[in-house]
Structure 1
């Protein structure tokens, strides 16, 4: 356990940031799974609407520094490819 006041504060701040990052990452995973399940159900319209929401969440996470821009691009590209496969 930390003895210095600033170190104690850093522990609290890190715990808060970790919880925030975990929540946002979890939300991105949830919306990505919704896109994948819509693709598996061959529902193109639902997949496209879910894709729009998922891309928005990924972009928000990137702007907050949770994802690297290349990681975000890779995730969006993967989801877009899945939606485009429905014909």
Structure 2
């Protein structure tokens, strides 16, 4: 238990930051899985509408990653690596 008012505040701030970090990390994981599922669907169907859906999901993942980077949830190199890997998934299908 906290002994001072400042210690209580630090505990509450740590909990707030933990919730925020968990939100960003779990949302990125969920959207990434959904994106990869749509990429596989596009790979099999080669339907342009499936590609558009995958691209819109990719944009959503990019947005969350960038917001997480801005709020110091993710390191900038981690964000760059994840974005590059995700973009390469869709790009390889387009090149084939």
- Give the TM-score of the pair, scaled to structure 2: 0.83
Residue 44 of structure 1 and its aligned partner are, at CA, apart by 2.1
* Separation in 2, partners of 1:27, 1:54: 8
* Separation in 2, partners of 1:84, 1:60: 24
Residue number in structure 2 paired with 1:71: 78
Residue number in structure 1 paired with 2:5: 5
Residue number in structure 2 paired with 1:52: 59
Residue number in structure 1 paired with 2:46: none
Residue ranges of structure 2 left out of the alignment (5+ in a row)? 43-49
Residue ranges of structure 1 left out of the alignment (5+ in a row)? none
The structure that has the greater radius of gyration is 2
- Aligned residue for 1:41, secondary structure, equals helix
Residue number in structure 2 paired with 1:20: 20
- Which deviations, in whole Å up to 9, do the C-alpha atoms of 1:8-67 show, x marking residues without a partner? 111111111111111111111121112111111123222111111111111111111111
Pairs aligned (count): 87
- Aligned residue for 2:72, secondary structure, equals coil
